[in-house]
Amino acid sequence: MSRTRNSIAFRLIAAVLAVELLSSLAVIFLSLGYERHTHFIAFDIMLHGRADSLLVAVQDSEDPQASVLFNQSGLHLPPDDVYEVYDQNGRLLGRSSNWQGTPEAAWNDPTDRFLNLKFNHRHYRILRFHASRFVDAAEPGGGKLRPVTILYGAPTEHVWHAIRGAVEFYAAGSILLLVVTGPLIAWLLHRGLLPLRQLAALASHVSVDAWQFSPPASARSTSELAPLTQALESVLQRLERSFQQQGAFVSDAAHELKTAVAVVKSSLQLLGMKRRTTEEYKAGLERCLVDCQRMEEIVAGMLTLAREESAARPDAPPPSADLALSLRQVVVQLETAAQVRGVQISAQIPLSGDETTPETSRFPVPIAPEDCALFLSNLLLNALQHSPPGSQVEARLLREPQSVTLQIQDHGEGIDPASLPHVFDRFYRGDPSRTRSTGGTGLGLSIVKAVVEKSGGSISIASQPGQGATVTVQLPLLVTTSYGRDELPPTR
């Protein structure tokens, strides 16, 4: 039952029926007011007409003390109606036999024309009507004008009966409409949600072993489902690529470790095949140690890559490192390695603001200091490995309004165009310089890319064979707040 209540169709049907029910109640309430208004207007007109008919019974009196009299002999009125007739002096001229009169105190306002009373166990509506009667109009002088006051009332049961009948008709029509439209709405919603159910059914068949997902045409053509369809396709494509990359990474890692383990195993087997001298055992163990160190570097690189590719906590403050300071430190650390290879390494750091010398320039970026040193050393070491003796490796910082660009350029043999799209792939060694003889694990540039993209930056490599390569890294700049903290600038 709870699952049914949580369905979109159930909620929509309940909402539509609730709106229809409220609309029906509003129609019934408005019809009650409308019918009451129109029926009582007609009833009041009827009372006024019957009160007018009493004027014909007002005649001139021959009694000198009474100017007019009321002759009821010719009146034909409904037996349930009541009436009274008064002259201008308030003297009662006549009344119906079934009424004892209305007390004057019942009229709270002398200007009131209608009064609702209950007597003889019945509800009456009384009209107070002031009129004038021309008596003996054929006599010389045009007759005499005799003012009179008429009180005329009639029972209202039949009026309320008509009102109730009209309201009951509206109520019955509303109930019938609910009964008819309820199943119709349910059927229409069931058909309207068919593309969503088809989309869910196809998406449920997607698994790690079957990534094929072809949304139905009905979902693509539905404006409300088209964004969801596109999002599902995009997410599944990214997940498929992620699983493929993960599988390739595991396969490459297993291959790298398997090769290193096989080398260690073969070295140990070779040492154990016959008795050897101490120097031979020592040389064999040193080869095993080198291979073990290589396995250690691979595992360390894999752990570093996994750490860099993990998502940062959304509530954690952004890390901060001074790119200019880290670059100067890494250049100093690699000067010895550069001298061994006969390569000159330099760093060009511009003024970042109010600083007077490049040594005091600050370029705060959202990277942890150890990660900043890691990706800079990987890039510079890679450039040194590709540089021939006598060449130069240049590192430059370029400041922009909200970002900083780092360019590292070498003048080595360059990268083959076929290998250029794969240089950031894990364990990729398309270039001859990236072989096991150099000691590289094939994870350096992958780690660099993970560090840069985690900070919200971008990295690219441009190269031509024989002309060297240029690595371009663009990173967002942090702004220093009033309380001395480096934070990302607000997004617009």
pLDDT at 370: 87
- Cα separation, 364 vs 455, in Å, equals 12
- Cα separation, 164 vs 159, in Å, equals 9
From the number of C-beta atoms within 10 Å of its C-beta (0-12, 13-18, 19+), residue 359 rates as exposed
Query: Strand pairing partners for 353?
Result: none
2, part of any domain: no
Residues 356 and 304 in one domain: no
Give tens-digit pLDDT for 357-368.
666 668 888 888
194 has a pLDDT exceeding 70: yes
Residues 159 and 124 in one domain: yes
Which CATH number characterizes residue 380's domain?
A: 3.30.565.10
Residues 329 and 281 in one domain: no
Q: Kindly indicate the confidence band of residue 489, based on its pLDDT and cuts at 50, 70 and 90.
A: low
Residue 307 CB neighbour total at 10 angstroms: 13
Residues 298 and 328 in one domain: no
Q: Which amino acid is at 382?
A: N
Average pLDDT over residues 330-340: 87
Average pLDDT over residues 69-75: 80
354 has a pLDDT exceeding 70: no
Residues 288 and 335 in one domain: no
Residues 22 and 156 in one domain: yes
What the block records as the tokens of 396 is 């430059």
Using the 3D structure, point to which of 275, 309, 343 is the last residue of a domain. Answer: 309
193, part of any domain: no
| Residue-number span of the structural domain to which 54 is assigned | 11-164
286, part of any domain: yes
308 has a pLDDT exceeding 80: no
More confident residue, 490 or 84: 84
- Cα separation, 418 vs 423, in Å, equals 10
Give the residue among 362, 323, 360 at the shortest CA–CA distance from 451.
323
Query: What is the share, in percent, of the chain residues with pLDDT greater than 70?
Result: 81
Average pLDDT over residues 168-174: 91
More confident residue, 459 or 146: 459
Helix (H, G, I), strand (E, B) or coil at 349: coil
Average pLDDT over residues 136-164: 81
Number of domains in the chain: 3
pLDDT at 437: 44
DSSP structure class, residue 309 = H
Using the 3D structure, point to which of 252, 276, 309 is the last residue of a domain. Answer: 309
> Is the distance from CB of 75 to CB of 150 less than 8 angstroms?
no
pLDDT at 168: 93
Residues 298 and 364 in one domain: no
- Cα separation, 47 vs 323, in Å, equals 99
* Element holding 461 (H helix, E strand): strand 458-463
- Tell me the whole-structure pTM to 2 decimals: 0.49
Report CA 158 to chain centroid distance, whole Å.
57
Residues 328 and 464 in one domain: yes
444 has a pLDDT exceeding 80: no
From the number of C-beta atoms within 10 Å of its C-beta (0-12, 13-18, 19+), residue 75 rates as middle
- Cα separation, 404 vs 362, in Å, equals 11
Give the residue among 82, 79, 93 at the shortest CA–CA distance from 133.
93
291, part of any domain: yes
463 has a pLDDT exceeding 80: yes
- Cα separation, 351 vs 348, in Å, equals 10
> Is the distance from CB of 409 to CB of 347 less than 8 angstroms?
no
Residues 152 and 228 in one domain: no
43, part of any domain: yes
215, part of any domain: no
481 has a pLDDT exceeding 50: yes
| CA dihedral (426, 311, 408, 299) positive or negative | negative
Residues 132 and 97 in one domain: yes
More confident residue, 321 or 293: 321
360, part of any domain: yes
- Cα separation, 405 vs 476, in Å, equals 9
pLDDT at 37: 94
What the block records as the tokens of 383 is 């450039």
Query: What is the share, in percent, of the chain residues with pLDDT greater than 90?
Result: 15
pLDDT at 363: 83
> Is the distance from CB of 364 to CB of 485 less than 8 angstroms?
no
Residues 408 and 483 in one domain: yes
